[in-house]
C-alpha cells in the first residue's frame, strides 16, 4: 500500500488532476445515459399508439370526404335526370322551415301585443294572486284571436307546453316563473282588436280580472321578439286532424 501511495506522489500533479477530471466526467456521462434511457423508451412507447390513432382518424376523414364527393355527384345526376328536382328540394326546405316556425323551434320577430299580468292588492286575499289558470286563459284567447307565436316571460309556448301552479310561482315548460307575468304574442295587425272583441276575453276580464283586482295592462308594439323553444320535442302520441280551413 505504501508503494502505491509513493508512486502516486511521484506522478506530476497535472497528471493526477487530469485523471481525476476524466474519471468524474466518465461517471457523469454514464449517469446521464442511464437516466435518459427509460425516458426515451417511455416516449417511444407513448408515441406509437398516438401515431396509429392519428393515422386511423385521417383514414376515416378521407373515407368521409370520398362519400361526400360521391353523394354530391349522385345528387347532380338526379337533378340532371329531373330538372324540377332542385325546385322540389327548395319547396321541401321551405315547408320544413315553416313547420319549424309553427312548432316554435325558430325565434321570430314581428308586430304584436304584450300583456302584463300582476297580483292585485293585499286586501284581495288569495283571489288577488295571478295564477297559472289566468295565464293559460290569456294564452288560449290569444291563440283563438290569431296569434302566431306566444311567449310567457321569455318562455316559448308550443303544443306541448304546460302552465301549472308551483307554490307562489308558475311552471312553464321546465322554467319556474315568478309574477308579474308578461305574455307576448306576434300576430296579424288587428290581433288586439280581435282579442278584445272575443267573448272569452271579455268574460275573463269581467269575471276574473276586475272582481279580484288583478292588474292587467297591454301594449301594442311594432316589434316583439319571441325566442325559440329551448326544450326537447318528444311526442308520445299524436294523430292527424283534418283541417277545417278552406
What is the mean predicted confidence (pLDDT) over 130-145? 95
pLDDT, residue 240, reads 72
Mean of pLDDT over the chain: 78
Quote the CA–CA distance of 118 and 138 in Å, as a whole number.
Answer: 13
Going by pLDDT thresholds of 50, 70 and 90, the confidence category of residue 45 is low
pLDDT level of residue 71 (50, 70, 90 thresholds): confident
Kindly list the strands in the beta sheet with 181-186, ordered across the sheet, starting from the edge strand earlier in the chain: 155-156, 149-152, 181-186, 108-118, 215-226
Higher-confidence residue of 70 and 72: namely: 70
pLDDT digit string, tens, across residues 161-218: 989 998 888 999 888 898 999 999 999 999 999 999 999 999 999 999 999 899 999 9
The tens digit of pLDDT for each residue in 88-137 reads: 677 777 777 777 777 788 889 999 999 999 988 777 678 889 999 999 99
Predicted pLDDT of residue 4: 46
Question: Is residue 237 left, alpha or beta, with left meaning phi > 0 and alpha meaning psi from -120 to 50?
Answer: beta
Res. 43 pLDDT band, cuts 50 70 90: very low
Q: 214 near 118, Cβ under 8 Å?
A: yes
Q: How does residue 14 score in pLDDT terms, banded at 50, 70 and 90?
A: very low
Q: What per-residue confidence (pLDDT) applies to 138? A: 96
Provide mean pLDDT across the span 18-27: 57
* pLDDT category of residue 38 using cuts at 50, 70 and 90: very low
More confident residue, 77 or 194: 194
Q: Is 109 helix (H, G, I), strand (E, B) or coil?
A: strand
> What's residue 169's pLDDT?
87
Query: What's residue 8's pLDDT?
Result: 47
pLDDT (mean) for 237-246: 66
> What is the pLDDT at residue 27?
57
CA contacts within 13 A on the Cβ side of 225: 2
Region label for 163, one of left (φ > 0), alpha (ψ between -120 and 50) or beta (otherwise): beta
Amino acid at each position: 500500500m505504501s508503494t502505491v501511495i509513493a508512486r502516486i506522489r511521484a506522478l506530476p500533479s497535472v497528471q493526477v488532476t487530469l485523471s481525476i477530471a476524466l474519471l468524474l466526467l466518465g461517471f457523469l456521462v454514464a449517469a446521464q445515459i442511464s437516466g435518459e434511457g427509460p425516458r426515451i423508451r417511455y416516449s417511444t412507447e407513448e408515441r406509437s399508439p398516438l401515431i396509429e390513432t392519428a393515422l386511423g382518424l385521417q383514414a376515416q376523414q378521407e373515407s368521409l370526404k370520398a362519400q361526400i364527393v360521391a353523394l354530391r355527384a349522385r345528387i347532380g345526376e338526379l337533378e340532371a335526370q329531373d330538372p324540377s328536382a332542385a325546385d322540389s328540394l327548395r319547396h321541401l326546405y321551405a315547408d320544413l322551415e315553416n313547420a319549424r316556425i309553427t312548432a316554435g323551434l325558430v325565434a321570430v320577430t314581428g308586430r304584436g301585443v304584450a300583456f302584463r299580468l300582476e297580483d292585485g292588492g293585499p286586501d284581495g286575499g288569495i283571489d288577488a294572486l295571478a295564477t297559472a289558470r289566468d295565464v293559460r286563459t290569456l294564452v288560449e284567447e290569444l291563440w283563438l284571436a290569431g296569434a302566431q307565436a306566444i311567449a310567457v316571460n321569455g318562455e316559448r309556448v308550443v303544443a306541448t307546453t304546460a302552465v301549472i301552479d308551483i307554490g307562489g310561482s308558475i311552471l312553464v315548460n321546465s322554467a319556474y316563473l315568478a309574477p308579474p307575468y308578461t305574455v307576448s304574442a306576434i300576430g296579424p295587425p288587428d290581433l288586439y282588436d280581435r282579442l278584445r272583441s272575443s267573448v272569452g276575453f271579455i268574460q275573463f276580464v269581467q269575471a276574473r280580472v276586475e272582481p279580484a283586482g288583478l292588474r292587467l295592462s297591454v301594449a301594442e308594439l311594432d316589434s316583439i321578439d319571441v325566442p325559440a323553444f329551448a326544450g326537447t320535442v318528444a311526442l308520445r302520441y299524436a294523430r292527424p286532424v283534418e283541417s277545417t280551413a278552406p
